[in-house]
C-alpha cells in the first residue's frame, strides 16, 4: 500500500468534505458542443472521477454569453443548460468524486444586433500581434450585468447538483483577471486606481454569488499568484487580494501561475517540477482557508512532500490526470511504476490554442474514451511485434491487456526505440518516464520480450504467429546533395548518441525539431552552431506552446538561424546555399544532417502474403511524433 498519507487525507472546503487532496482543475478540453455537455465530455471526466481524484472542477463555463470563443466549451448562462449539467454532476458523483463548476466571464459581450464585442476594464490589449483589437471599456451598468450574471450562473450550478462553484480570475481571457491586473486596468473610477479598487469586481461577484446560493455553499476562486506580465500584478498584490477574498466569503483559493500571454515558461518540459508552488505557499501565509497549489507536479511523491511540508493544503493535478486518469488510485495503492507519467510536451495545451478537442501524446484514449475502449479479445491469438519503441510497446501493452499471447522482439539491447535518442537533447529527460512505464507494462502483462535479436521474415514465419505488427521505426534521410556523404558530414541522431564527433564550427542542415534540439545540444557543449532551414520558419513542427521557449533558448545560446536557405552543395569547408535567387557559402568544420526520417519498409514488404495478418504502425507506417506512434499502436492492438 501507498505511504502517501497526506495526499490521501480528507479535507473540508467550507462544508464540503473531500476524500483526498487531489484537485483536477478547470481546463479547456474542447469536448462540448453548442455550449452543452456531450457524451465525450462525460466520458472524459467520468474516467478521471473513477480514477480517484477528490475534486474535479470543470470549466470555463461561460456565465455571460453563448460562446463561440471556444467551440468545444460549455456554458451556464441560461436555465435550459441545467438538465444536461445535472446529468453530468450525477455521473461524477456516481463515479466517486465531488465536482465543482468554474464560472467565467471572458471579456466578450453581445452588442447591438447580437454581435459579439471585445470588452474589458480599459482599452488595453495584451495580444502580441500587430493590429490586435483593443477592448471597449465596460460601463458601470454593464459591470452590474456581469455581477448579476455570475450570481445566476452559480445558482444554475447549484440547481444542477454541483458541490461547489469556482470563480475564474486567472489568465488573459478572464474578465475578472483583467480588472485585477494593473496592466490592463487603467480605470480612474471605483473599479480601478489601486489594488483594492481593481479587486472590486471580484468582490462584488463573490457577493452576488452568495446572495444567490447562500453563505454556506462552497465557493472557490482561482487566481494568478502573479501575472508575470510587465506592469501586471505581482505576488505582493495577490497577497493583498487573498485576505479580501477570504473576508468576502471564499472558502478556498486555487493559486495558479501567470497568463498564457506571459513571456515566461510555466509548464514546458524545461521548467523544473513544482517551480511555482511558492506562489500558493506565499498566499497560504496570509489566509486561514485552504489553499490549492500546483503546476508541473507529475509525481505523487512530490505532491506528498509539498503537502507534508505544509506548503499548500491541496494540490491541483491537471496534465498528469490527462495522461493517466488512474494516477490517484495507482498512487494510493502504491502502484507507482504503473503510472503513465505526463511528459510536459504541451500537446494538450496546443489543442486549446488551436481550438481542437484535447489530445495527449502518451494517452491516445484521452478525449476518446469510448471510441478507444479496451475490451477482452473474443479469441486469444499469437501476436508477434517487431520493434520496441513507443508504437510497438503500446501495441504489445494493449494486445496483452486484451488477453493475447504477445512476443515483442527488438534488435537493440533495451526497449525504447527512438525514445532512447529523443531523451538526449537538453530538457528532454521527462521522456525517459514513458520508456520506463511501457517497459514495466511489458513485464507486468507477461509480454515475451526478446532483445538484441535481429528479426527476419524467416524468424517470424518460424514462430507461426496469427498476427504480426511491424514497428521498427524510421531511418534518417540523407538528402541528394553533393557532398552529403562526406567525411565531415554526420547524422543528427548519431551526434546525439555520441557515435559521431563534430568540430568546433558546425552547420546543422534542417531547422525542424530534431535540427533545433541537435543545435542546442551542440551549443551547450561550446560549439559554434548555425542552423540552415530551407523553409521560412525555424521549428515549424514544434508544438506552438513550446516553440517560443525553444527559440528563446537557441537565441540565448548564440545559435545563428538562417531561413529560406536551400543547401545545394556540401564541401570539406562548409556548405553552399541558394537563397533569394543568389548563392551564399557558410564555412564550417562539420555538417550535421537533420532533414527528417523515412519509414523502414523492408521487413513489412518481405512479409506481405507470408503471414496471416500484417499491420504496420508508428514510424514504420509514417514518420511522426510520439502521439501518432502511441495512437497507431493502440488502434491496431484493440482491433485484433
Read off the pTM: 0.95
pLDDT interval class at 104 (50, 70, 90): very high
CB 53 within 8 A of CB 21: no
Give the helix/strand (H/E) hosting 58. strand 55-62
pLDDT at residue 67 tops 60: no
Domains of the chain are: 11-353 (3.20.20.70), 382-476+599-637 (3.40.50.720), 489-595 (3.50.50.60)
| All three cell numbers of 96 | 466517486
Which stretch of DSSP H or E encloses residue 537?
Answer: none
pLDDT at 173: 75
- Note the pLDDT of residue 129: 66
Can you tell me the mean pLDDT for 570-581?
95
Work out the number of other CB atoms within 10 angstroms of the CB of residue 215.
9
pLDDT in tens, 329-347: 999 999 999 999 999 999 9
pLDDT confidence bin for 352, thresholds 50/70/90: confident
With a cut of 80, say whether residue 616 has pLDDT above it. yes
How far apart (Å, rounded) are the C-alpha atoms in residues 267 and 347? 11
Angle at 277 between CA 274 and CA 282, to 5 degrees: 160
Q: Tell me: the pLDDT tens digits for 185-202?
A: 999 999 999 999 999 999
- Tens of pLDDT along 199-220? 999 999 999 999 999 999 999 9
Q: Grid coordinates standing for 290?
A: 485552504
Check: CB of residue 336 under 8 Å from CB of residue 4: no
Q: Which of 437, 426, 360, 335 is CA-nearest to residue 394?
A: 437
The answer to whether the CB of 69 falls within 8 A of the CB of 62 is yes
Amino acid at each position: 500500500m501507498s505511504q502517501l498519507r497526506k495526499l490521501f487525507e480528507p479535507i473540508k472546503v467550507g462544508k464540503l468534505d473531500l476524500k483526498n487532496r487531489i484537485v483536477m482543475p478547470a481546463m479547456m478540453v474542447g469536448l462540448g458542443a453548442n455550449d452543452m455537455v456531450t457524451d465525450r465530455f462525460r466520458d472524459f471526466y467520468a474516467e478521471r472521477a473513477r480514477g480517484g481524484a477528490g475534486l474535479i472542477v470543470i470549466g470555463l463555463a461561460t456565465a455571460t454569453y453563448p460562446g463561440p470563443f471556444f467551440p468545444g466549451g460549455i456554458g451556464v448562462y441560461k436555465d435550459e443548460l441545467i438538465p444536461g449539467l445535472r446529468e453530468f454532476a450525477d455521473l461524477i458523483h456516481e463515479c466517486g468524486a465531488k465536482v465543482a463548476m468554474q464560472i467565467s466571464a471572458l471579456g466578450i459581450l453581445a452588442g447591438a444586433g447580437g454581435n459579439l464585442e471585445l470588452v474589458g476594464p480599459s482599452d488595453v490589449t495584451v495580444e502580441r500581434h500587430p493590429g490586435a483589437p483593443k477592448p471597449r471599456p465596460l460601463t458601470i451598468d454593464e459591470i452590474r450585468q456581469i455581477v448579476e450574471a455570475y450570481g445566476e450562473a452559480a445558482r444554475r450550478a447549484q440547481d444542477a447538483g454541483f458541490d461547489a462553484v469556482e470563480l475564474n480570475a486567472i489568465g488573459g481571457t478572464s474578465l475578472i483577471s483583467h480588472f485585477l491586473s494593473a496592466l490592463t486596468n487603467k480605470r480612474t473610477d471605483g473599479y480601478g486606481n489601486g489594488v483594492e479598487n481593481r479587486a472590486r469586481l471580484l468582490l462584488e461577484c463573490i457577493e452576488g454569488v452568495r446572495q444567490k446560493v447562500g453563505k454556506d455553499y462552497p465557493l472557490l476562486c482561482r487566481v494568478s499568484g502573479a501575472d508575470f506580465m510587465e506592469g501586471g500584478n505581482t505576488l505582493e498584490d495577490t497577497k493583498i487580494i487573498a485576505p479580501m477574498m477570504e473576508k468576502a466569503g471564499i472558502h478556498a483559493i486555487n493559486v495558479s501561475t501567470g497568463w498564457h500571454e506571459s513571456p515566461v515558461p510555466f509548464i514546458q518540459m524545461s521548467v523544473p517540477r513544482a517551480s511555482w508552488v511558492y506562489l500558493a505557499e506565499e498566499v497560504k501565509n496570509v489566509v486561514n482557508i485552504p489553499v490549492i497549489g500546483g503546476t508541473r507536479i507529475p509525481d505523487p511523491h512530490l505532491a506528498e512532500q509539498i503537502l507534508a511540508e505544509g506548503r499548500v493544503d491541496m494540490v491541483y493535478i491537471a496534465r498528469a490526470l490527462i495522461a493517466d486518469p488512474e494516477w490517484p488510485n495507482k498512487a494510493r495503492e502504491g502502484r507507482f511504476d504503473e503510472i503513465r507519467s505526463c511528459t510536459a510536451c504541451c500537446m494538450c495545451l496546443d489543442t486549446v490554442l488551436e481550438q481542437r478537442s484535447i489530445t495527449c501524446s502518451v494517452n491516445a484514449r484521452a478525449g476518446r474514451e469510448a471510441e478507444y475502449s479496451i475490451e477482452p479479445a473474443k479469441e486469444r491469438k499469437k501476436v508477434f511485434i517487431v520493434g520496441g519503441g513507443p508504437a510497438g510497446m503500446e501495441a504489445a501493452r494493449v494486445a496483452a491487456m486484451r488477453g493475447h499471447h504477445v512476443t515483442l522482439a527488438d534488435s537493440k539491447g533495451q526497449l525504447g526505440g527512438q525514445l532512447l535518442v529523443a531523451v538526449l537533447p537538453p530538457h528532454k529527460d521527462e521522456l525517459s518516464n514513458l520508456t520506463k512505464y511501457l517497459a514495466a507494462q511489458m513485464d507486468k502483462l507477461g509480454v515475451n520480450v526478446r532483445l538484441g535479436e535481429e528479426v527476419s521474415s524467416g524468424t517470424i514465419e518460424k514462430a507461426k504467429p496469427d498476427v504480426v505488427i511491424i514497428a521498427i521505426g524510421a531511418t534518417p534521410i540523407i538528402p541528394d546533395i553533393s557532398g552529403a556523404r562526406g567525411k565531415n558530414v554526420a547524422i543528427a541522431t548519431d551526434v546525439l548518441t555520441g557515435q559521431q564527433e563534430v568540430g568546433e564550427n558546425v552547420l546543422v542542415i534542417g531547422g525542424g525539431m530534431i535540427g533545433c534540439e541537435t543545435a542546442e545540444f551542440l551549443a551547450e557543449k561550446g560549439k559554434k552552431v548555425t542552423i540552415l532551414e530551407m523553409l521560412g520558419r525555424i521549428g515549424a513542427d514544434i508544438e506552438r506552446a513550446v516553440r517560443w521557449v525553444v527559440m528563446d533558448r537557441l537565441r540565448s545560446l548564440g545559435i545563428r538561424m538562417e531561413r529560406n536557405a536551400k543547401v545545394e552543395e556540401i564541401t570539406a569547408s562548409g556548405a553552399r546555399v541558394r537563397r533569394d535567387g543568389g548563392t551564399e557559402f557558410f564555412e564550417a568544420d562539420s555538417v550535421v544532417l537533420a532533414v527528417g526520417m523515412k519509414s523502414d519498409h523492408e521487413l513489412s514488404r518481405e512479409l506481405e502474403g507470408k503471414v496471416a495478418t500484417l499491420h504496420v504502425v508508428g514510424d514504420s507506417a509514417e514518420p511522426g511524433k510520439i502521439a501518432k506512434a502511441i495512437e497507431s499502436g493502440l488502434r491496431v492492438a484493440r482491433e485484433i
